[in-house]
Structure 1
Amino acid sequence: MSEQQGAVHGAVELRYRPVLRDYSAALGARNRVSAAGRRQRILGVAATGCAVVATSLSLARGTDVPVALLVALLFSGPLLLLSPRLMARQLFRFVGRQGEFRVRVEESGVSVDTDNSSAVVRWQAQPRYVETADLFVLLSDDKNATALTVIAKRGAQDRSDVDRLREIFDRHLTKA
């Protein structure tokens, strides 16, 4: 189908190679809107806070701080911050091997073709989306947003295509 025909039918086509930061940003965005992400942040902050209080009390009493407590203090905060990046690295090991992504967004849903696979995502399967500076992230409606589709804005031919994508998503999806 020619570019002009795609515009007449309202479809938007993108082409890009995924990069690791796409998936770090997408998982970070998902964590901000999902129940699992909220739980992880709350537990991480609570664990770090408890470790800081326990360490402070031990130091105030002049007693030795348990090694396990020091380890928890040293690792809980950084692990909380690095978690989306570590998960993204694992996911990107698979995604990076897929080659170029060719994405077509139209009124019926999103189709993604890569050098190795094809997928069609209907709006009902992922009825929510989050927009970041560089991405649109489509999310499933389960409380943990288990399924996601990452669409990099840099794959659009021009800025008006990004606006058209936003219009299509706003018509069919709920902004999370």
Structure 2
Amino acid sequence: MDTRGGDSIHQNTDFGTAVEFVYRPTAADFEEALRARARRSPSGRAQALMAPLTAAAAVSVFSVLQDASLPVWIISLVITVPIAFWATVRGLRTMARRMFSIVEPYGQCRVVADDRGAVTTGERASFSMDWTVSREYLETPGLFVLLGGDRSAGVAILPKRGAQDPADVDRLRTILDRNLKRL
């Protein structure tokens, strides 16, 4: 992986042409990524369902232990489970804002990706990532979302609006398909 700040865009390698995306991340990007992860990845679904299932189990156990009548048990479930779902959605929003607050100081980002990985250069920091860091990816209408593998539990986003050429979105999808599992 070329770690010189993305110079690989000018190199013609056996892996194919690199693509370049330039964008400024937003909190909405992270919220979209986390919601997509919650819907489409097994770990995301488990995380999203944990609070409602725990709430339902707690109400059921408490109702049995207190010998509550069936109407009280049902009303408790009808109130508790939606509140747990709401709390889960609010938690995703809060997590997205926290993730954004970490990357916001980096400012505008430039990502150069090829079959070896991606080099990201921000206004204040840069890093490179081999595709082996991520295990899988998913695509939303506005983003490519990279999900961490064995060595990383993170979520990385790449907004499609940053493509320098509309064809770059398709080229990046091809690169990701060759190197990661699509969800």
Q: Same fold (TM over 0.5)?
A: yes
Q: Which residue of 1 aligns with 2:133?
A: 125
Q: Which residue of 2 aligns with 1:151?
A: 158
1:134 aligns with 2:142: yes
Give the percent of matched residue pairs that are identical in Structure 1 and Structure 2. 35
Question: Are the equivalent residues in 2 in contact too, given 1:13–1:103 (CA < 8 A)?
Answer: yes
Listed as ranges, the gaps of 5+ residues in structure 1 are none
SS in 2 for 1:43: helix
Matches for 1:41-120 after TM superposition, within 5 Å: 41-49=48-56, 60=71, 75-120=83-128
Aligned mate of 1:12, from 19, 22, 47: 19
SS in 2 for 1:15: strand
Q: Structure 1's 6 and 21: CA in aligned 2 closer, same or farther, altered over 3 A?
A: farther
Q: Which residue of 2 aligns with 1:22?
A: 29
Tell me how far apart the structure 2 counterparts of residues 93 and 115 of structure 1 sit (CA, whole Å): 15
Q: Structure 1's 6 and 29: CA in aligned 2 closer, same or farther, altered over 3 A?
A: farther
Q: Structure 1's 2 and 94: CA in aligned 2 closer, same or farther, altered over 3 A?
A: closer
TM-score, L = length of structure 1 = 0.78
1:167 aligns with 2:174: yes
Q: Structure 1's 72 and 142: CA in aligned 2 closer, same or farther, altered over 3 A?
A: farther
Q: Residue type matched to 1:153 in 2?
A: K
Question: Are the equivalent residues in 1 in contact too, given 2:117–2:129 (CA < 8 A)?
Answer: yes
Question: Are the equivalent residues in 1 in contact too, given 2:111–2:120 (CA < 8 A)?
Answer: yes
TM-score, L = length of structure 2 = 0.75
Tell me how far apart the structure 2 counterparts of residues 168 and 74 of structure 1 sit (CA, whole Å): 40
Question: Are the equivalent residues in 2 in contact too, given 1:48–1:77 (CA < 8 A)?
Answer: no
Instruction: Give CA deviations for 1:40-90 in whole Å, capped at 9, x if unaligned.
Output: 333233245457775xx66946xxx99xx9995674221112221110011
SS in 1 for 2:137: strand
Tell me how far apart the structure 1 counterparts of residues 26 and 11 of structure 2 sit (CA, whole Å): 26
Instruction: Give CA deviations for 1:108-150 in whole Å, capped at 9, x if unaligned.
Output: 111111111111110111131111111111122249x712221
- How far the C-alpha of 1:30 sits from its partner, in A, is 2.4
